[in-house]
Structure 1
Amino acid sequence: MSNTDKFTVVLPVFNEQDNLEALFNEIRAAADSTGRPWEAVFVDDCSTDKSLDIIRALAGEYDEVRYVAFAENRGQSAAFCAGFDAAQSDIVVTMDADLQNDPADIPDMLAVFGDECEMVIGWRSKRKDTFIKRISSRIANKIRDSLMDDGVHDTGCSLKVMRTDLLLKLPRFKNMHRYFPILMKTHGARIKEVKVNHRERGAGVSKYGTLDRAMAGIYDLIGVGWLIKRHIGYSVKEQK
């Protein structure tokens, strides 16, 4: 892939009405600075605020904006998958819609992405989360690394650059977005990391409780561990 290829920014959204316009303005500035064609695909996860109205307005004003609106709340992983299905490019950039990820990091990550890797992961070396959330993430990462080390520092950072064709091959299940690195590696992806900015949430509230994440994480580790061990991979030497 060249440094002129189009990319798609995929953004799951659930009740982020106070962040969306500022977020898109930052994405547009960062994306335009690359000189590449681009698009933004917002996936509204059945928000109960005015998020969808704002997304519709953005899509009406900017040709780069498209959206998918769920009929019912399906969760972040489902929203990411819907964005991947809707993407009209070979490169997907994922990020959260809460303004904690910084769109200004996208150009540097795209510069690293290319012939030598199929996935670039943001590394939040200076996180701005609450103390409890940082500690719980560290514990979860240590447990995960002991069972399936994916070789990256920050698997939980939503800011990632990935090849669309590989994403479409991944098994789909609830919370799969937490395991993108190891799942991509099973499909041959080479991974690089880039240190990125992480910001405090400006508006809205976190949608995921610490205890809920911990319990789901334990359950998911068992399932993902099984998937990795039972994965079938092959290379073709010749075909007619």
Structure 2
Amino acid sequence: MSVGGKKKLVVKYVFEDFSELEKESYGPVEEHFGVGWSIQVFKGASRCNIYLDCLNWQPIPWEIDTRIRLKILRKNEDPLVKTEYHHKFAKGLEPYKSHYFQWIENCSIERYLIDGNLTIEFEVEIKRIPGMEIPKRKFDNDVAKELSDVVLMAGDQKFYVSKNYLSLHSTYFKSLFSEKFADSEKSIIELKDIDPNDFQKFLEFYMENQQLTTIL
């Protein structure tokens, strides 16, 4: 999810029946911004280590600068919250994985179990991804074409979109698709003097936030 130009994501997992788990346990891998994220716990002799794994399968050197907020629910108490204002995930000894970790002392683990389950949540704000290209959302693939009812042309690039969605969130497109405009019934509408890269960013922002009013 992108908020105000910032790239943010949340990874949450409930480790059920925590006391019965193996020494190492993993949550599922979630994909955000073209990168995999997963929560791992390691039960040691004196403490439980909690990891946020960042999985990036690019063969080239990579790094991701982040701000991380860890939240662990507690029974009858406010959640434990720890914030790391700067953490860098980067290609290292394990070329496709980098991690961040905190821990809980085993003597206090019962405070964090709710009905025997351990609930862990990471909020991640991505500050910078030098050398990595976050995949662009596709507006000209088969899925976009199937769901669209109009094609917008910006420069020489086609964008297959939905009139209803754009009209709902943008007064510009609501007017453009109204019966008052001669172009409203065309299956392909040319957007004059609009850069295709800027329009791509506009649509990506719109699709992520679903809360646009008037941008154009």
* TM-score (ref. length: structure 1): 0.24
Is the strand fraction higher in 1 or 2? 2
- By relative contact order (CA 8 Å, sep 6+), the higher-ranking structure is 1
Which is greater in Rg?
A: 2
| Structure holding more helix per residue | 1
